Structure 1
Amino acid sequence: MTLKLSAHIEKRPLTQPFHITGYTFTESQMVVVTLEDGQWIGRGEGLGVYYKHDTPVTMLGQIEALRETIERGVTREQLLRLLPAGGARNAIDCALWDLEAKRRDQSVWQLADMPAPQPLLTTFTLSADEPSVMASQACELPDARAIKLKLTNDGRNAERVRAVRAARPSAWLMVDANQGFTREALRDALPAFVEAGVAVVEQPFPIGCENWLDGLNAPIPIAADESVQDHTDLHKLVGRVQVINIKLDKCGGLTEALAMAREARQLGFQLMVGNMGGTSWSMGPAFVLGSLCSVVDLDGPLYMLGDRTPAVSYADGRIWCPDAVWGGPVVAAA
């Protein structure tokens, strides 16, 4: 088998600046990989992991260094040994899944022995901002049935949560600190979170401070994001968190994500699927994983100026990914 590899960087502006602890984003940058085998074309997209300096430039370099190996016909299992977890492996792995779906005239969910997909309830994310601004943004998402609040380390998080809850009294809520809390800050904010009915607190503490979770006895489930990159991080979180956020850019593709999900379940974790942003070509493979997850956070395209055609759709607070977008037996439109 001989493949033709194409890889390039794309930049897509966001609809407005997006704020989290320590970062402000104004555009989404991604590496797009195309693998051609005669009439069949597979596509994958990777954004990398910004806080690990896994950027589209470094990802493209990793891909080009393996061009000959890839074009000779690399398998997904070989890829796990050739590249570390990260955006480059994710883009290639997802392109391989998509290509196999085209070749075998089956959907990726069938290849992965997954149940037939259904629309998934997804969170809609609010950028960290003034409490009144976040409340206003929550009202501008009338279809959202689940809302995720980005929080920061300025001591106003209880105000933010109260404001959003007042604006959206019936919405399911979770909060994401992106490593921004101290143990004291979380302790001080927890009563407001409980009062507001927050369902999950995501990544309160910095990477490397997982011991801060010991003895915390939080009344709300804690989810690990930055602290869990791939399956090798799972065991250190047993007894410390209840939910594992799997992102394909972190773990390096759908192949690792599915294996990671199986192991995490065996260890007693609940599963969450998240995203680093991206277009519908990033949401498609994550959508496959989403059928295994109790929390789904796949809203990336909503914050970009422009998406793929065809694209995932959002209705009644849910995301739906038709086969024609990614991973189906019919060649997706460019």
Structure 2
Amino acid sequence: MTFSVSVTVERWPVAGAFIISRGAKTHVDIVRCEISDGTHRGTAEATPIYYEGENAADCAEEITRFAAKHPHLDRAIVLQNMSRGAARNAIDCALWDLECQRKNTPLSKLAGLPQLRPLVSAFTISLGQPEIMEDHARQAAANGHELLKLKLSGEGDLERVAAVHRGAPEARLIVDANESWNNLDVEAQATQLAQYSVELIEQPVSAGHDHLLSGVRSPVPLCADESCHTSADIERIAPFYDAVNIKLDKAGGLTEALAIAHAAQAAGMKLMVGCMLSTSLGIRPAFALAQLAQWVDLDGPLLLARDRDDGFRFESGKIFPAKAAG
């Protein structure tokens, strides 16, 4: 069957600024992909991974070229012939959505995932001065967020975490080092952080330098993010990490994300499902996958100035299924 594919680039403003160790963002450009069989239409969204050199215009062009070359699309063709990244994510998830529409079947059932239920999602505290992060944590806790994720930089991290803990002493904490601890004693850092309700440390060292974690006995589980892109990476990183953060843009779609999840579970690793800055359309398939995860970080839409009208409902630190989430 021949499909028609359309792609557009949309710009969505961020609420204030989203700040991590790599810089600040005041907006996010996303790629929206629609695939139609003439009767049904599948829709998906992807966010280019800017720190890997992706941008929305290039991703849109890649989708257009690929669709012109492969008019008889299916997920296997996409997986075999496109490189991982946002462009593949957009096409792959649009094809999943199209199949859901054609079969009138929820995505969770089609993908062999548990039935959707509300999930506790982390709320991100942007990188900043300790007193500012403390205030933001206090506000987040007052709004019902029980799981907070802190962006760190490798300098002054203990002070930042201690400040957030003061602001939200009952909150569970995830810290994201964003590859900044190469020159630090990871075990000592983790030991000090454990006293502040930190229950997961993301990507302490740079991707490709995972060997620096050899022999580290961390009292807090370590989670791979940038070190894991596809299911083929699991065997390599499993000796160094306790968990893996799966992002659909990074994996290049739900198809590969499912493969990562199953490979990680087989290796005895726990799962985190995260996202880039995005609207609710972007996290719809991720929410289905997150039903398998021990940690969920799908607050992308909450960090925007506005969301789509049919978006997820975020309430008291939980994310509730959108009507079309399936």
- Asked if Structure 1 and Structure 2 have the same fold, meaning a TM-score greater than 0.5 normalized by the shorter chain, the answer is yes
The answer to whether the 8 A contact 2:119-2:296 is kept is yes
Match of 1:198 in 2: 198
> Are 1:149 and 2:150 matched, yes or no?
yes
Q: CA RMSD in A?
A: 1.3
Match of 1:131 in 2: 130
> What is the deviation of 1:112?
1.1
Written as runs of structure 1 = structure 2, the 5 A alignment for 1:44-59 is 44-59=44-59
Name the aligned partner's letter for residue 221 of structure 1: P
- What is the CA–CA distance in structure 1 between the aligned matches of 2:179 and 2:106, rounded to whole Å? 37
> What is the deviation of 1:188?
5.0
Name the aligned partner's letter for residue 121 of structure 1: V
Greater Cα offset, 98-107 or 55-64: 55-64
Specify the SS of the correspondent of 2:137: helix
Match of 2:72 in 1: 73
Between the aligned residues of both structures, percent identity stands at 36
Q: After the TM superposition, which segments of 4 or more aligned residues of structure 1 sit over 4 Å from their partners?
A: none
Match of 2:308 in 1: 308
Give the unaligned 5+ runs of structure 2: none
Match of 1:247 in 2: 247
Match of 2:105 in 1: 106
- What is the CA–CA distance in structure 2 between the aligned matches of 1:59 and 1:316, rounded to whole Å? 35
- What is the CA–CA distance in structure 1 between the aligned matches of 2:80 and 2:182, rounded to whole Å? 37
The answer to whether the 8 A contact 2:114-2:292 is kept is no
Per-residue CA deviation, residues 205-227 of structure 1 (Å, 9 max, x unaligned), is 11111111101111110000001
- What is the CA–CA distance in structure 1 between the aligned matches of 2:93 and 2:279, rounded to whole Å? 13
Match of 1:225 in 2: 225
Written as runs of structure 1 = structure 2, the 5 A alignment for 1:138-287 is 138-141=137-140, 142=142, 143-154=144-155, 156-184=156-184, 186-187=186-187, 189-287=189-287
Per-residue CA deviation, residues 94-117 of structure 1 (Å, 9 max, x unaligned), is 111111111111111111122211
- What is the CA–CA distance in structure 1 between the aligned matches of 2:22 and 2:186, rounded to whole Å? 17
The answer to whether the 8 A contact 2:186-2:204 is kept is yes
> What is the deviation of 1:309?
1.6
Match of 1:288 in 2: 288
Name the aligned partner's letter for residue 153 of structure 1: G
Specify the SS of the correspondent of 1:140: helix
Greater Cα offset, 15-24 or 240-249: 15-24
- What is the CA–CA distance in structure 1 between the aligned matches of 2:319 and 2:8, rounded to whole Å? 27
- What is the CA–CA distance in structure 2 between the aligned matches of 1:259 and 1:57, rounded to whole Å? 28
Name the aligned partner's letter for residue 127 of structure 1: S
Name the aligned partner's letter for residue 151 of structure 1: L
Give the unaligned 5+ runs of structure 1: 329-334
> What is the deviation of 1:187?
4.6
Match of 1:331 in 2: none
Name the aligned partner's letter for residue 36 of structure 2: E
> What is the deviation of 1:254?
0.5
> What is the deviation of 1:185?
5.4
Per-residue CA deviation, residues 273-312 of structure 1 (Å, 9 max, x unaligned), is 0101100011100001001110100000011122112001
> What is the deviation of 1:191?
3.7
